[in-house]
Amino acid sequence: MSFIEGFLALPQDLEDAYKQAKDDGAAGVSPDKIIQDLSDNVGDAIHDYMKTAMVGTVVTVEPGQTAAGPAGKGNYTAPGLGAGVGTVRFEDNSVTTLKNEIKALLKKQLADGSVTGCDPLDIIKKKAERTTEAIHKFALTAVVETDVLLAGGVPVVGYMTPVPAPLPAASLPTPPGIATGLGDPAQVDGTGLA
């Protein structure tokens, strides 16, 4: 699914989730079951949308980094450039955390709404803030994966040719899929990014 298809599907998926909760409430389903199903469905809708994102990247190969050649390897002596495209994915525990946070905010909304004399506008405002925070935190857990095409022609010194001594040579372009990038999977809790 493309990003625009995901964007167009999101409002319908959210509407379906809330309609199911309304219908379940009218059918006498317990509030705990409604909250669980609603948090799962809203979490799935957000996840389905977010994973449709495509990413683009431009990279700089710093001097001193290793380059592979047909007969060995050498080191870049000047900056090299590359570019690529990729996708976004989320670890299962990130999706579970999103659903749990939505469940917690729905339970908080239920508890706040049960208080005599409560302010409905304040409850809605707090729910919107908590939902925004949950989605933001979830977005920060995205793992970005890209295939990068490195441009050739950068000066490299090392054993790039079959000659016994290191000679200057030019880097070769990489075919797609050889050079890859991966966002920091250690950031799955969303705390390492600002």
pLDDT 10s digits, 33-44 = 999 999 999 999
DSSP SS3 for 153: coil
Between CA 151 and CA 24 the distance in angstroms is 57
Q: How confident is the model at residue 17 (pLDDT cuts 50, 70, 90)?
A: very high
Under 8 Å CB-to-CB from 67, ≥6 apart: which residues? 61, 73, 74, 75, 76, 80, 154, 156, 158, 160, 171, 172
Is residue 24 pLDDT above 60, yes or no?
A: yes
Q: What is the mean pLDDT of residues 44-73?
A: 84
- One-letter amino acid at 190 equals G
Under 8 Å CB-to-CB from 148, ≥6 apart: which residues? 57, 59, 82, 83, 84, 174, 179, 180, 181
Under 8 Å CB-to-CB from 94, ≥6 apart: which residues? 138, 141, 188, 190
pLDDT for the residue 146: 85
Where would I find the H helices in the chain? 3-26, 31-50, 92-113, 120-139
Q: Note the pTM of the prediction, 2 decimals.
A: 0.74
pLDDT for the residue 59: 83
Q: How confident is the model at residue 188 (pLDDT cuts 50, 70, 90)?
A: very low
Most confidently predicted of 71-80, 127-136, 172-181: 127-136
Is residue 185 pLDDT above 70, yes or no?
A: no
Average pLDDT, the chain: 83
Instruction: Retrieve residue 174's tokens.
Output: 């990489």
pLDDT for the residue 189: 47
pLDDT tens for each residue of 73-113: 777 788 888 888 888 999 999 999 999 999 999 999 999 99
Instruction: Retrieve residue 103's tokens.
Output: 């469940």
